[in-house]
Amino acid sequence: MTFQKQGASTPRFTLNCRMAYEAAALERLCQVVRIRGFRVARMAVERVDDQLDIQLILEGTRSIEMLKSQLEKLHTVAEVTLPRQPEAVGERERATLASV
Amino acid sequence: MNGAEQILNAFHRHSIDTVFGYPGGCIMPLYDALVDDVSVEHVLCRHEQGCALAADGYARASGRLGVCIATSGPGATNLITGVANAHRDSIPMLVITGQVPSGLIGTDAFQETDVLGMTLGIVKHSYLVTDAADIPDVMEQAIALATSGRPGPVWIDIPKDVLLQTSRARATPESSPESCTPPDLSDAIAMLHAARRPLLYSGGGISLAHCEDSFRRFAQVSALPAVVTLKGIGNAGKHHPDNLGMLGMHGSRAANRAVEECDLLLVVGARLDDRATGKLDEFATNARIIHIDADAAEINKLRTADLSLRGELSRILDGLADTLSARPLMINDWRQQCRQWHTTGGFSAADNDEPLSPITGPAFIRQLSRITSDQTVIACDVGQHQMWVAQHYEFDHPRHHLTSGGLGTMGFGLPAAIGAQFAARHSTVINVTGDGSFMMNAQELATIRRYRLPVKIIVMDNQCLGMVRQQQELFYNNRESQINLDDNPDFVAMARAFDIPALHIERTDQVRRGIQTILAYDGPMLLHVAISREENVWPIVKPGASNLEMIDESRASHHRKEQIA
């Protein structure tokens, strides 16, 4: 993953995504997240029948709406929602960032 | 029917009659099925990158789906540059690769690579097929995806055992094109009427959406001054009086000036790419933006639009033209101003009348443009010659100008010309290339010979990587680094080794006869054109700078002094 120094005020977003349960589904999703300038801080995935329900906590300084547009272009993505407003990342949480 | 035969079945259903490929271990079942198939012509290129770029050229020239085929491992990885090229320029392409047998996936088997994983970022979508019964549906989905909305490459990776697996053929659901309600155009019309200096900015989306006729009608009815991106060249036709030509890094001073001065920019089928806009903060700062595109993700991606219209471009353009024909725009003063800028700040190159003088790139391309017909297809490579073609060749249709816009792939031109010749078998197809680019896929001369394709090849040879040298001269204090190619092979002898006749020219008085000779020859022919090593493309905008900071030849020496200081 490209090294990005995150400042104390890096915006944080929650993004929910429902997509088809198929080969490389999560890789496809995470690659778009990375290339469009975000890092995954937390990720929860649940399979429901032939779909995946995914909740991502993301950090990044670019427009989250633009990421939403790019994810919606994926053929296997059924829905993307942005339920929460951005907030700053705390020091302790940044220390536990997981990169994909 | 086995998996391989199901693939050919899908080809037949979709009238796919030409594919570009290279065989190998895991794709052999498909090649075995091809032996008995008389309706699909398989074109054997000499490198998988050539296959992908030929399929790309075929798609660009014809507007149809390009198809390429390769085996697993190195076959698949060799395709990647060509597929990335298609992805960046939104070219409809179907890629089919063999994979190691299902049970061997993940065991580091011979010629195994994780094709699905390594290509995620360069495809519109991709599949790893695990059951032959899925192949008909996957093929239908893949072809529909590749050709609909914003087109792009779709990759299908199929393990060898699945290609051999027998399954019952089943009825395939007909795919229906995506339809959407046409947007309300009243706000756009109001903004156009309110503007005093509106400008039309179009890109590659016009030909991708097959809406050239609607675009031309709109351009004519609206009579808007127009600029084009590299991929939009030809949109307006060569006779449109208000076409200011290409904007951006190597655009005309007139086009960039018009963008600077306009108060409304109507962007159609373009993505505001950095090579076109220059420094975004200083791009069209006085203008409101109307952005029309098929891809919602392009709207507001780089520049916030005051109004966006998403949908079928032809319906939107037809609707705008219908309304404006009843109530025309009153922009005569602005139009006259743009025409004046075009007269003084369009692309110009002095035709050298001195017969013994060296050949210059721009003058050669202008001569080529005058001699060839409006139906000629030019497949460029990447570099200075690509920009001279964009600036000085007058294209009448965007499908006649094949150029690697987004990825900038050296080596694109020769295989793209091969693909274009298969798409337009009776047209003149010319690959205009440089000495650097030509060597990237020169093995495809063998493909030209094998199929006796009448492709004409023009190698503009300055014995260096000219575009890199130019930027090193202007922006790196003239510190040349690894651009010297003065040990090039003898290109004339090289062509002849492939049974392709060739000519060498180096003086202005040889240009006309040289071009006429290769055009008149009944078969492939190469013209080797020696040009000066020191020649530059003018104007140029420094990467990352504003388009207002164009450097032309007269300002170049001043700029070099500033660099040294």
> Does residue A100 lie in a domain region?
no
> Does residue A91 lie in a domain region?
yes
> Does residue B389 lie in a domain region?
yes
SS3 label, residue B316: helix
Tell me how far apart the alpha carbons of residues B473 and B563 are, in angstroms, rounded to a whole number. Answer: 10
> Does residue A26 lie in a domain region?
yes
Q: Which residues of B touch A35 (CB under 8 A)?
A: 121
> Does residue B417 lie in a domain region?
yes
Question: Does the pLDDT of residue B310 top 50, yes or no?
Answer: yes
SS3 label, residue A16: strand
Residues B441 and B477 in one domain: yes
Question: In which region does residue B149 sit, left (phi positive, over 0), alpha (psi from -120 to 50) or beta (all else)?
Answer: left
Provide the residue type at B302 as one letter. Answer: L
For position A5, what pLDDT does the model report? 59
What does the pLDDT average to over B279-293? 95
| CA distances from residue B506 to B5, B442, B462 in whole angstroms, order as listed | 53, 22, 11
What does the pLDDT average to over B267-289? 95
Kindly state the percentage of chain B with pLDDT values over 90: 91
**Closest CA–CA distance from residue A11 to any residue of chain B (Å):** 19
What does the pLDDT average to over A2-11? 65
Q: Which residues of A touch B295 (CB under 8 A)?
A: 73
**Closest CA–CA distance from residue A66 to any residue of chain B (Å):** 6
For position B355, what pLDDT does the model report? 84
pLDDT tier, A97 (very low <50, low <70, confident <90, very high otherwise): very low
> Does residue B202 lie in a domain region?
yes
Residues B337 and B365 in one domain: no
B321 in A contact zone (CB under 8 Å): no
Question: Does the pLDDT of residue A32 top 90, yes or no?
Answer: yes
B296 in A contact zone (CB under 8 Å): yes
Question: Does the pLDDT of residue B177 top 70, yes or no?
Answer: no
Name which of A75, A76, A77, A100 to mutate to probe chain B: the one with the most chain B Cβ atoms within 10 A of its Cβ: A75
Return the residue matching tokens 């390009």.
B66
Tokens of B530: 């020696």
Q: How many CB atoms lie within 10 A of CB B481?
A: 10
Whether residue A31 and residue B297 make contact (CB cut-off 8 A), yes or no, is no
Q: Which residues of A touch B296 (CB under 8 A)?
A: 69, 72-73
For position A92, what pLDDT does the model report? 45
Whether residue A31 and residue B125 make contact (CB cut-off 8 A), yes or no, is no
Range of the domain at A33: 11-95
For position B215, what pLDDT does the model report? 98
Residues B436 and B482 in one domain: yes
Contact B546, B540 (CB under 8 A): no
- Cis omega (within 30 of 0) for bond into B539: yes
The CATH number assigned to the domain holding A74 equals 3.30.70.260
- Nearest-Cα residue of chain B relative to residue A27: B117
> Does residue B310 lie in a domain region?
yes
Residues B528 and B380 in one domain: yes
Domain count, chain B: 3
**Closest CA–CA distance from residue B366 to any residue of chain A (Å):** 41
Of the two residues B106 and A90, the one the predictor is more confident about is: B106
Angle in degrees, CA B369, B374, B376, rounded to 5: 80
> Does residue A1 lie in a domain region?
no
> Does residue A6 lie in a domain region?
no
Positive or negative, the Cα torsion across A92, A95, A98, A99?
positive
Tell me how far apart the alpha carbons of residues B337 and B261 are, in angstroms, rounded to a whole number. Answer: 10
pLDDT tier, A99 (very low <50, low <70, confident <90, very high otherwise): very low
Contact B273, B247 (CB under 8 A): no
The CATH number assigned to the domain holding B31 equals 3.40.50.970
- Nearest-Cα residue of chain B relative to residue A62: B301
What residues of B act catalytically? 48, 110-111, 160, 467
Residues B17 and B69 in one domain: yes
Tell me how far apart the alpha carbons of residues B415 and B452 are, in angstroms, rounded to a whole number. Answer: 14
The CATH number assigned to the domain holding B265 equals 3.40.50.1220
Return the residue matching tokens 């094949």.
B402
Name which of A31, A35, A66, A73 to mutate to probe chain B: the one with the most chain B Cβ atoms within 10 A of its Cβ: A73
> Does residue B529 lie in a domain region?
yes
B414 in A contact zone (CB under 8 Å): no
Question: Does the pLDDT of residue B212 top 70, yes or no?
Answer: yes
Tell me how far apart the alpha carbons of residues A30 and B530 are, in angstroms, rounded to a whole number. Answer: 49
Tell me how far apart the alpha carbons of residues B308 and B324 are, in angstroms, rounded to a whole number. Answer: 18
> Does residue A4 lie in a domain region?
no
**Closest CA–CA distance from residue B479 to any residue of chain A (Å):** 30
Mean per-residue pLDDT of chain A: 84
Residues B230 and B298 in one domain: yes
B83-115 pLDDT, tens per residue?
A: 999 999 999 999 999 999 999 999 999 999 999
Angle in degrees, CA B149, B153, B158, rounded to 5: 125
Residues B397 and B489 in one domain: yes
> Does residue B176 lie in a domain region?
no
What does the pLDDT average to over B8-22? 98
Tell me how far apart the alpha carbons of residues B383 and B408 are, in angstroms, rounded to a whole number. Answer: 8
Tell me how far apart the alpha carbons of residues B385 and B395 are, in angstroms, rounded to a whole number. Answer: 15
B129-155 pLDDT, tens per residue?
A: 999 999 999 999 999 999 999 999 999
Contact B199, B267 (CB under 8 A): no
Range of the domain at B427: 361-534
Closest CA to B260 of B244, B271, B242, B273: B244
Q: Could you tell me how many residues make up chain A?
A: 100
Dihedral (Cα; A74, A78, A82, A88), 10-degree rounding: -50
Provide the residue type at B113 as one letter. Answer: T
A75 in B contact zone (CB under 8 Å): yes
pLDDT tier, B455 (very low <50, low <70, confident <90, very high otherwise): very high
Provide the residue type at B503 as one letter. Answer: L
Instruction: Provide the pairing of β-strand A77-81 with A51-59.
Output: unpaired
> Does residue A23 lie in a domain region?
yes
SS3 label, residue B259: helix
**How buried is residue B377: exposed, middle or buried, by Cβ count under 10 Å (0-12/13-18/19+)?**
buried
3-state SS of chain A: helix, strand, coil percent to 5?
25, 35, 40
Q: Which residues of B touch A63 (CB under 8 A)?
A: 300
Domain count, chain A: 1
pLDDT tier, A94 (very low <50, low <70, confident <90, very high otherwise): very low
B300 in A contact zone (CB under 8 Å): yes
Tell me how far apart the alpha carbons of residues B128 and B114 are, in angstroms, rounded to a whole number. Answer: 10
pLDDT tier, A33 (very low <50, low <70, confident <90, very high otherwise): very high
What does the pLDDT average to over B534-560? 87
Contact A6, A59 (CB under 8 A): yes
Mean per-residue pLDDT of chain B: 95
Residues B273 and B248 in one domain: yes
B463-520 pLDDT, tens per residue?
A: 999 999 999 999 999 999 999 999 999 999 999 999 999 999 999 999 999 999 999 9
- The predicted model scores a pTM of 0.94
> Does residue B105 lie in a domain region?
yes
Question: Does the pLDDT of residue B365 top 50, yes or no?
Answer: yes
Tell me how far apart the alpha carbons of residues B498 and B517 are, in angstroms, rounded to a whole number. Answer: 19
pLDDT tier, B172 (very low <50, low <70, confident <90, very high otherwise): low
Contact B389, B380 (CB under 8 A): yes
Helix (H) / strand (E) element for B243: namely strand B243-246
Tell me how far apart the alpha carbons of residues B445 and B441 are, in angstroms, rounded to a whole number. Answer: 8
B397-442 pLDDT, tens per residue?
A: 999 999 999 999 999 999 999 999 999 999 999 999 999 999 999 9
Contact B200, B226 (CB under 8 A): yes
> Does residue B177 lie in a domain region?
no
For position B180, what pLDDT does the model report? 62
Whether residue B300 and residue A65 make contact (CB cut-off 8 A), yes or no, is yes
Return the residue matching tokens 């290279």.
B22
* B181 Cβ contact partners less than 8 Å away, ≥ 6 residues apart: B311
A61 in B contact zone (CB under 8 Å): no
Tell me how far apart the alpha carbons of residues B6 and A70 are, in angstroms, rounded to a whole number. Answer: 33
Contact B272, B406 (CB under 8 A): no
- Nearest-Cα residue of chain B relative to residue A31: B121
How many residue pairs from chains A and B have C-beta atoms closer than 8 A? 35
> Does residue A5 lie in a domain region?
no
Positive or negative, the Cα torsion across B420, B49, B209, B298?
negative
Dihedral (Cα; B35, B36, B37, B41), 10-degree rounding: 30
Whether residue A75 and residue B145 make contact (CB cut-off 8 A), yes or no, is yes
Residues B372 and B493 in one domain: yes
- Nearest-Cα residue of chain A relative to residue B144: A75
Question: Does the pLDDT of residue B176 top 80, yes or no?
Answer: no
Closest CA to A4 of A57, A61, A46, A45: A61
* B489 Cβ contact partners less than 8 Å away, ≥ 6 residues apart: none
